[in-house]
C-alpha cells in the first residue's frame, strides 16, 4: 500500500487553522456559507495533493522499470567503418605505413593490426594502391615460395592479371645479398618489381571494413 502522507501535513495544518471555533473567534460575523466554502477548498487541496503525489510516484516507477529499454543505441550507419589512420575504399580499409621495413616485418606489422599485406585482385584496386603509395616503393602481399608466386591470404596467383614492369620479375642477383628477389613491391611508376625481401620499404595493409 502506498503512503500518501508526503506533502499532506502542511495542508491539514492550514485547514485546521480554519476550524469552526477559530473562525468564530477571528471572524464572528462570517457567514456559514463562506465557512463551508473554505472547508471545501481545504478538501480540494488535499485531494489535489494526493493525486499529484500518486502520479509522481507512478511516473518514477515507470521510468525505473523502463530504464533498460530507453538506452540510446548508435545506429550502424554512424559507426566508424575503418580505424583511425586507415582509408575506406570499395568495402575495405587500407593503411599506408610511414616507416620503411623489410617485407617480413611489414607482414607481421599488418598481422598485428588484424589485417594482411595488400592483395591486389583487380585493376581498380591496383590503381588505388598506386594512388595511396604516393609514388614510393611499397611492399605488397606477394612473395615467391619454391619458385611460385603466392599471395599472403591464399588467393590464387593469376599470372594473366598482374602488373609487373616489363622484364620483371627477373630475380636480379646484382644486390650481392644472400638469396634472390622473392618479394614484390610497387615502384614509383605504379608497376610491380621483384625485390630482395630484406630491403626496407613502406607497405600497405588491408582488411574488410567494419560496416
Domain spans in the chain, listed from the N-terminal domain onward: 9-65, 82-208
| Residues 170-193 pLDDT 10s | 999 888 788 899 999 999 899 999
Q: Residue 78: what pLDDT?
A: 54
Q: Residue 26: what pLDDT?
A: 46
Q: CB neighbours of 187 closer than 8 A, spacing ≥ 6?
A: 137, 165, 193
At the topology level, CATH places domain 82-208 in Mannose-Binding Protein A; Chain A (3.10.100)
| Residues 65-122 pLDDT 10s | 554 444 444 444 456 899 999 999 999 999 999 999 999 999 999 999 999 999 999 9
Map residue 109 onto helix, strand or coil: helix
Cell of 119: 592483395
- 114 versus 39: the higher-pLDDT residue is 114
Q: Residue 92: what pLDDT?
A: 97
pTM reported for the whole predicted model: 0.63
Q: Average per-residue pLDDT in the chain?
A: 80
Q: Residue 63: what pLDDT?
A: 42
Q: Residue 138: what pLDDT?
A: 99
Q: What is Dmax (Cα atoms) for the chain?
A: 125
Q: CA-based angle 195:200:203, to the nearest 5?
A: 85
Q: Residue 11: what pLDDT?
A: 47
| Residues 43-61 pLDDT 10s | 777 777 677 665 656 555 4
Q: Residue 73: what pLDDT?
A: 44
Contact status, residue 173 vs residue 124, Cβ threshold 8 Å: no
Q: CB neighbours of 28 closer than 8 A, spacing ≥ 6?
A: none
Amino acid at each position: 500500500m502506498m503512503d500518501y502522507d508526503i506533502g499532506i501535513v502542511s495542508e491539514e495544518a492550514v485547514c485546521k487553522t480554519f476550524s469552526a471555533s477559530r473562525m468564530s473567534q477571528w471572524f464572528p460575523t462570517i457567514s456559514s456559507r463562506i465557512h463551508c466554502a473554505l472547508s471545501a477548498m481545504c478538501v480540494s487541496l488535499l485531494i489535489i495533493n494526493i493525486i499529484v503525489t500518486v502520479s509522481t510516484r507512478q511516473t518514477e516507477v515507470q521510468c525505473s522499470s523502463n530504464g533498460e529499454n530507453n538506452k540510446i543505441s548508435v545506429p550502424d550507419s554512424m559507426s566508424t567503418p575503418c580505424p583511425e589512420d586507415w582509408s575506406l575504399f570499395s568495402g575495405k580499409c587500407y593503411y599506408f605505413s610511414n616507416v620503411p621495413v623489410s617485407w617480413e616485418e611489414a607482414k607481421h606489422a599488418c598481422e598485428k593490426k588484424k589485417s594482411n599485406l595488400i592483395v591486389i585482385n583487380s585493376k581498380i584496386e591496383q590503381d588505388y594502391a598506386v594512388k595511396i603509395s604516393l609514388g614510393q616503393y611499397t611492399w605488397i602481399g606477394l612473395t615467391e615460395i619454391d619458385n611460385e608466386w603466392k599471395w599472403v591470404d591464399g588467393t590464387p596467383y593469376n599470372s594473366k592479371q598482374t602488373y609487373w614492369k616489363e622484364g620483371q620479375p627477373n630475380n636480379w642477383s646484382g644486390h650481392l645479398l644472400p638469396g634472390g628477389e622473392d618479394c614484390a613491391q610497387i615502384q614509383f611508376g605504379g608497376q610491380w618489381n621483384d625485390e630482395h625481401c630484406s630491403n626496407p620499404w613502406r607497405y600497405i595493409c588491408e582488411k574488410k571494413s567494419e560496416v
